[in-house]
Amino acid sequence: MAFVCLAIGCLYNFLISTTFGYTLSSDTKIEVYPPQDFEIVDPGYLGYLYLQWQPPLSLDNFKECTVEYELKCRNIGSETWTTIITKNLHYKDGFDLNKGIEAKIRTLLPRQCTNGSEVQSSWAETTYWISPQGIPETKVQDMDCVYYNWQYLLCSWKPGIDVFLDTNYNLFYWYEGLDRALQCVDYIKADGQNIGCRFPYLESSDYKDFYICVNGSSEDEPIRSSYFIFQLQNIVKPLPPGYLTLTRESLYEVQLKWSIPFGPIPARCLIYEIEIIEDDTTLVTITVENETYTLKTTNETRQLCFLVRSKVNMYCSDDGIWSEWSEKQCLEGEDLLKKTLLLFLVPLVFISIFIIFITDLPLNKPNTSLEMNFSMINEEFMFQET
């Protein structure tokens, strides 16, 4: 009888392990295998990589519960992991190809399948590197990209340190929506060398990772490639505001006004920085959200000037670049006095004339009833004489 029970227990363990991919030891500890064929695949998108794997052994018929996977990945040297819990067999993300990538994954069995305790497999690990060519000093220096007015992307760089004169660089770019990486077709050149790229219109490229690779070639030495990742809305440089005006609102207040920069950036996405100059001295620099600002002044001000610049705000981007300053707009002391007089004395004169007219009107109005009484008395007197 004991032999039969032992045989049944062994058969049960065998069926569980072969059907569900985990083993059941004599102390009922459940174990599950890690995913198979875990790898990092580079599809040629300049840093946008595929991480993919296959289910653990013997889980093809595991239908009672949904298996999940815990994935961790990062650039080598980074202090933090990106952690994903997924039911899929793949994951896509962007990485800095200037560094290596490491990733690890394990299988998770939910509690309802394992007598109330979550079961985890051991980790399966993998790494990915692009074999570097050339010494680091040969790669481009001072890479700078600006998305002018949210319309035109321009990137520029300097050649590597002490590279040979025949060294030249090429730029490639990709973002989600393109079926392949594209090469720059409009290079900026200096002394026959490519030192920048003017990009064409980039359709549907906002709020996506934008990947760039700048590699190079020389007959005398290999050139190190450089990789960059950014989002276009975070490198926007707007045009400066226009149509600056100063208007005297009261004896001690001047209203500053300007128009939003020309172009596609909506007003709700902009903030402004105002520099106020009073009598050749910078009075204050203020950041505001609207296209107006009321400034307190004194009668002793001889000259009042201001400039404005713009930037994409935190509601539309994580970062941005300030525009150039607008042209300076000024009011001289004489202009301030004239505007004050026009604003207050002219209305006062009109009010005074109106009051005089109103008060003088009853004095000049003819008394018709009195004139009629005198006329009747005069006619009666003349009748009696007759």
For the segment 268-321, what is each residue's pLDDT rounded down to a tens digit? Answer: 999 999 999 888 777 778 899 999 999 887 766 778 899 999 999 999 999 999
- State pLDDT tens for residues 9-29: 444 444 444 444 444 444 556
pLDDT of residue 77: 93
Last residue of one domain, picked from the residues 213, 236, 259: 236
Quick one: pLDDT at residue 215?
96
Residues 29-53 have pLDDT tens digits of 667 889 999 999 999 999 999 999 9
Say if residue 250 is in the same domain as residue 282.
yes
User: Confidence class of residue 146 from pLDDT cuts 50, 70 and 90?
Assistant: very high
Q: What are phi and psi of 73, to 5 degrees?
A: -150, 155
Q: What percent of the chain clears pLDDT 70, i.e. is strictly above it?
A: 76
Q: Is residue 178 part of a domain?
A: yes
List the single range of 133-137, 207-211, 277-281 with lowest mean pLDDT.
277-281
Cβ–Cβ under 8 Å, residues 295 and 254: yes
The mean pLDDT of the chain is: 82
Judge whether 372 lies within some domain.
no
Domain extent at residue 221: 136-236
Residue 373 pLDDT: 45
Task: Please give the Cα distance from 106 to 108 (Å, whole number).
Answer: 7
Tell which of 194, 219, 236 closes a domain: 236
- Positions of E strands within 159-280: 168-175, 182-183, 187-190, 193-198, 209-217, 226-231, 236-237, 242-250, 253-259, 270-278
pLDDT at residue 297, rounded to an integer: 77
Looking at residue 337, the DSSP 8-state letter turns out to be H
The answer to whether the Cα torsion of 228, 229, 234, 240 is positive or negative is positive
pLDDT, mean of residues 212-227: 95
* pLDDT in the model for residue 279: 80
**pLDDT at position 362, please?**
53
Q: Do residue 55 and residue 70 come from a single domain? A: yes
**pLDDT score for 78:** 94
**Are residues 211 and 271 part of one domain?**
no
Tokens of 232: 């276009």
Rounded Cα gap, residues 155 and 151, in angstroms? 13
In tens, the pLDDT along 83-133 reads 999 999 999 999 999 999 999 999 998 877 767 777 889 999 999 999 889
Please indicate whether residue 223 or residue 301 has the higher confidence score (pLDDT): 223
Q: CB under 8 Å to 358, separation ≥6 — which residues?
A: none
Q: Per the structure, how many domains does the chain have?
A: 3
Query: Which domain-ending residue is among 128, 149, 171?
Result: 128
Whether residue 335 has pLDDT greater than 50? no
- Is 66 a domain residue? yes
Report pLDDT digits (tens) over 176-203.
Answer: 999 999 999 999 999 889 999 999 999 9
Do residues 218 and 166 lie in contact, with contact meaning Cβ atoms separated by under 8 Å?
A: yes
Shared domain for 121 and 140, answered yes or no, is: no
Q: What is the pLDDT of residue 110?
A: 81
CATH of the domain at 276: 2.60.40.10
Q: In 260-344, where do the E strands start and end?
A: 270-278, 281-288, 292-296, 303-312, 329-332
